[in-house]
Amino acid sequence: MTKFVLKRLAHTVIVLLGVSVMVFFLIRYLPGDPVDLMFDGGDDEATAEAIAAGREAFAEGRGLSGSLPSQYFNFLGEISRGDLGTSLFRNVSVTTLIRQTLPLTFQLAVAGQLVNMLLSFPLGMLGAAKQNSIWDRGGTALALIGTAMPNFWQGIMLILVFAVWIPIFPVSGVMDLGIDLREVTHIPVVDAVITGNWAALKSLMMHLALPAITLGASASLVRILRSSLLEVKHQDFMDAYRARGVRERSVTLHMLRNALPTTVVIFGIRLGTIISGSVVIETVFAYQGMGWLLINGINQRDYPLVQGIVLTFTVFTALASLLTDIVHGWLDPRVKVTSSA
Amino acid sequence: MTAPIPEAADVAADDTTRPPALELRHLTKSFKVGSESFGRASRVKAVDDVSLQIESGTTLGLVGESGSGKSTIARLVCRLLTPDSGQVLVDGVDVAEGRRRSKAYARKVQIVFQDPTASLNPRWKVRRTIAEGIRAHKLRPRDEIDARVRELVDLVGLPENSLDRYPHEFSGGQRQRIAIARALAVEPEVLVLDEPVSALDVSIQAQILVLLQNLQDLTGLTYLLIAHDLAVVQRFCDRVAVMRTGEIVESGDPSIIHSNPQHPYTKALVEAHPVPDPHRRGAWGIKSSTNGQGSVA
């Protein structure tokens, strides 16, 4: 088991290396130069020289001078020391920015998955219990629509209906301004609960509602859960329980336990998509999480920021898949988690 | 060793007064096929007015091709399906009255499925699989359950260290032994064996059949054996019933069916049975009493 985890972590390092190459060169390949952007608008003759000097100093200080490969190896050297560099435009270290925004993205992702599960489990179980009934068809259709609908559009529609026409929820943001929340864990919702700050909690929840619904409304697990339940439902060992006089309710529980591994694996595989999905959602709702920060960074050609966030996403996706494998092995005794896997 | 059913010896004594261990009366079950929305839905009679009797402590073999309704009968007998009409009586009592699947009924009739890979919960260790029936029916006080499980494992010829292993760690034959132990844990009177050996290697089949035979000698269990292998049926059964399209076309002593099949379908079934020895082709079975017909399948 330890060997397995270590091996997977080594794989992750290799993946990170590949991703770092991709992100480093691709972002630089994009038209537009941060130094140009920074020193734009100076066609005043008198200052031209000063600008040129400033440019050079800036490029030098931010590791943007020299050849691309040498810049890349400098960057590698820095991240190996745990330094993701400094944001070109915010003048704050990327690590600090990530530390500020990651908890917000995390709480949004969790909330979105809660919505997803609250929809998927009842619909999936109902569909499996009453196969081909109106409930089953309805649930499957709903899941299909949810998956097919682009979620940015869904988000905009939700804002239009529930924030503009019927103003129940706020249009954007993380929390109302002017609420003071003491930071403990840096995850706002958790902090609000720990410190008993109910006004903050309410505001946070109201702001989370629409983006979380947008993320989770695809009910992406409905069809997986339904089909894995149906697969188990007709297995002989389910009939064996029934034949021994086990009540149908308990049989259903056994069914769920046996259908869970597949669902968990699919969920784990999707975790990566969920994180990248939050990029779009956060932009639509101006929710200042890591995805929102990434889009800003790309627009400003803030190289270190984009690199840092993409690498963070990669680490989380890799960890999610590692965790999925471990949980799968624990849920299904036929799966052995070994280092050769 | 505790025999699940103690009356093995009594059976012969009051055979005449005792009602059959299992009796089916005019059992009928049909299924809907096709889709209603396309207006092609129709009903197929899987089991059509079937009546059968099995004396206590004996084995009835039910043979027939796929789709003849054998397995439907197995499921009807175990109450996994509800019959459209007709009765299933155990010891002369229609236990189906009232609730669809009562615990009391499950106590009397148990089933061993064809494929032990599918019939054992892959997430449960053997100990739990076997103990579950004892626990569900409260057959032993809590602290005696483990001893009883060990006894059952021993009874079906599994090593004691099997208890803490998962089904996938066993061979097919061993898994079927687990399935048998699980059925016996409930201490039933009737055991429905739905093709219990057809998923196994031929060499393993004999071992399982011998085990079942020994268990019957020991405990006086009544078997309803569903099979399509005529050799198995001839070796193992006291009586045979041949099914086709939901009806019983012929029944009687296995050797009579073999040597003098009355119904053309039985004849076809017998003739279709491959015989490994070319000199005896056309005859049937291992212990063949060749009737010299020489018809080649």
Instruction: Please write the tens of the pLDDT for every residue from B48-87.
Output: 899 999 999 999 999 888 888 888 999 888 888 888 888 8
Q: Phi, psi at residue A52, to the nearest 5°?
A: -60, -40
Query: CB–CB of B121 and A243 under 8 A?
Result: no
DSSP three-state, residue B227: strand
Residue A296 tokens, joined: 């800003």
Which neighbouring-strand residues pair with B283? B281
Q: What's this model's pTM, rounded to 2 decimal places?
A: 0.71
Q: Report chain B residues whose CB lies below 8 A from the CB of A333.
A: 122-123, 166, 168
Determine contact: A336 vs chain B, CB below 8 A. Answer: no
Q: Are A286 and A63 in contact (CB under 8 A)?
A: no
Q: Which of the pair, A60 or A86, is modelled with greater confidence? A: A86
Q: What is the DSSP string of B91-144?
A: TTEETTSSSSS-HHHHHHEEEE-S-HHHHS-TTS-HHHHHHHHHHHTT-S-GGG
Task: Indicate the range of A210-224, B10-24, B103-117, B158-172 predicted with least confidence.
Answer: B10-24
| pLDDT tens digits for range B180-202 | 999 999 999 999 999 988 888 88
Q: H-helix or E-strand containing B31?
A: strand B22-33
Burial of A78 from C-beta contacts in 10 A (0-12 / 13-18 / 19+): middle
Determine contact: A242 vs chain B, CB below 8 A. Answer: yes
Say if residue A233's pLDDT is above 80.
yes
State how far residue B230 is from chain A, nearest Cα, in angstroms.
Answer: 24
| pLDDT computed for residue A341 by the predictor | 42
Query: CB–CB of B122 and A332 under 8 A?
Result: yes
| pLDDT tens digits for range A144-174 | 888 888 888 989 999 999 999 998 898 888 8
Determine contact: A33 vs chain B, CB below 8 A. Answer: no
Determine contact: A249 vs chain B, CB below 8 A. Answer: no
Determine contact: A330 vs chain B, CB below 8 A. Answer: no
Task: Nearest chain B residue to A329 by CA: give it.
Answer: B123
Q: Are A223 and A140 in contact (CB under 8 A)?
A: yes
Determine contact: A245 vs chain B, CB below 8 A. Answer: yes
Task: Nearest chain A residue to B102 by CA: give it.
Answer: A245
| pLDDT computed for residue A248 by the predictor | 80
Task: Nearest chain A residue to B118 by CA: give it.
Answer: A236
**Average confidence (pLDDT) over A201-206:** 90
Query: CB–CB of B111 and A237 under 8 A?
Result: no
Determine contact: A132 vs chain B, CB below 8 A. Answer: no
Helices (H) and strands (E) in chain B, counts: 11, 10
Facing residue for A239 by CB, picked from B80, B133, B166: B80
Q: Report chain A residues whose CB lies below 8 A from the CB of B80.
A: 239, 242-243
**Average confidence (pLDDT) over A289-296:** 92
Taking alpha carbons only, the member of B47, B132, B87, B90 closest to residue B221 is B90
Query: CB–CB of A243 and B79 under 8 A?
Result: yes
pLDDT band of B13, cuts 50, 70, 90:
very low
DSSP three-state, residue B217: helix
Facing residue for B101 by CB, picked from A242, A331, A332: A242
| pLDDT tens digits for range A83-122 | 888 888 888 899 999 999 999 998 998 898 889 889 888 8
Determine contact: A251 vs chain B, CB below 8 A. Answer: no
Determine contact: A56 vs chain B, CB below 8 A. Answer: no
**Average confidence (pLDDT) over B204-209:** 90
| pLDDT computed for residue A337 by the predictor | 66
| pLDDT computed for residue A33 by the predictor | 77
CA angle A105, A106, A109 (to 5 degrees): 85
Chain B residues contacting A via beta carbons under 8 Å? 75, 78-80, 101-107, 109-111, 113-115, 118-123, 132-133, 136-137, 166, 168, 179, 182, 186
Length of chain B: 297
Task: Indicate the range of A97-106, A115-124, A326-335, B256-265 predicted with least confidence.
Answer: B256-265
| pLDDT computed for residue A282 by the predictor | 92
Query: CB–CB of A257 and B123 under 8 A?
Result: yes
Identify from A132, A237, A253, A332 which residue to disrupt to test chain B contact, counting B C-beta atoms within 10 A and taking the largest count: A237
Say if residue B25's pLDDT is above 50.
yes
Taking alpha carbons only, the member of B40, B34, B52 closest to residue B252 is B52
Determine contact: A236 vs chain B, CB below 8 A. Answer: yes
| pLDDT computed for residue B181 by the predictor | 94
Task: Indicate the range of A272-276, B62-66, B209-213 predicted with least confidence.
Answer: A272-276
Query: CB–CB of B118 and A257 under 8 A?
Result: no
Facing residue for B110 by CB, picked from A243, A257, A334: A243
| pLDDT computed for residue A183 by the predictor | 81
Query: CB–CB of A244 and B166 under 8 A?
Result: no
State how far residue B72 is from chain A, nearest Cα, in angstroms.
Answer: 13
**Average confidence (pLDDT) over A200-213:** 91
Task: Indicate the range of A3-12, A28-37, B129-138 predicted with least confidence.
Answer: A28-37
Task: List Cβ neighbours of B96 (8 Å cut-off, separation of 6 or more).
Answer: B79, B82, B83, B87, B88, B105
Facing residue for A240 by CB, picked from B105, B119, B166: B119
| pLDDT computed for residue A145 by the predictor | 87
Say if residue B9's pLDDT is above 70.
no
Q: Which of the pair, A277 or A327, is modelled with greater confidence? A: A327
Task: Nearest chain B residue to A241 by CA: give it.
Answer: B133
Query: CB–CB of B101 and A245 under 8 A?
Result: yes
Residue A97 tokens, joined: 């920015």
Q: Phi, psi at residue A257, to the nearest 5°?
A: -60, -40
Facing residue for B78 by CB, picked from A243, A257, A332: A243
Q: Are B180 and B172 in contact (CB under 8 A)?
A: no
Task: Determine the Cα–Cα distance for residues B62 and A224; give it in Å rounded to an integer.
Answer: 39
Q: Are A88 and A188 in contact (CB under 8 A)?
A: no
Share of chain A above pLDDT 90, in %: 16
| pLDDT tens digits for range B99-155 | 555 677 788 889 999 888 888 988 899 999 999 989 888 888 989 999 999 999 999
